[in-house]
Amino acid sequence: MLFAMEHSRVWRVAAAGIALSLIAPSLLNAHTEPSVEDLKARVANALIADRPALCIHISERQVGEADRLYVAGDSEKAQVALADVIAYSELARDYAIQAHKHEKQSEIAIRKMARKLADVKHTVSHEDQEQIQHTIDRLQQIRDDLLAAMFPKVGKK
């Protein structure tokens, strides 16, 4: 009798696992990530303190999109995505400095994006490397601005 109870419990757990594996993908699809255009529209209506994180999220998504487009061979659209990376990283910097919030998180995210783009740079044609390097240089300047805001130089003695 005890064996039969244990056996039926195992089957119930297995059946529940199978049911969950069939249901879980549909639950994941029910909660989809908003589009980049939707995120861009949210920036204007967001609180100043929330804008840096939103802008960084847009920039990160566009870095991934640029990478995908370069792999697909669509350099023109990838360059548009890189322009968004610069624009929204600059906005994130400006909002972070203005609100005195998310400065550190923005700087870290921008550093990671620059590293990701450096990896992408090594996989594209020579012509595309120049635009990617320009984006990396701009991201580095934005990082420097954030670091200067976080750690202002005091008067030397």
Domain ranges across the chain: 36-150
pLDDT at 25: 52
pLDDT at 50: 96
Q: What is the pLDDT of residue 77?
A: 97
CA distance 142 to 132: 15
Torsion of CA 96, 97, 102, 104, to 10 degrees: 130
Report the alpha-carbon distance of residue 99 to residue 49 in Å, rounded: 6
Residues of the chain with pLDDT under 70: 1-31, 155-157
150 and 107 in contact (C-beta within 8 Å)? Answer: yes
**CA angle (101, 102, 106) in 5-degree steps:** 145
pLDDT for the residue 12: 58
Residue pair 132/120 in contact (Cβ under 8 Å)? The answer is yes
What pLDDT, on a 0 to 100 scale, did the predictor assign at position 142?
98
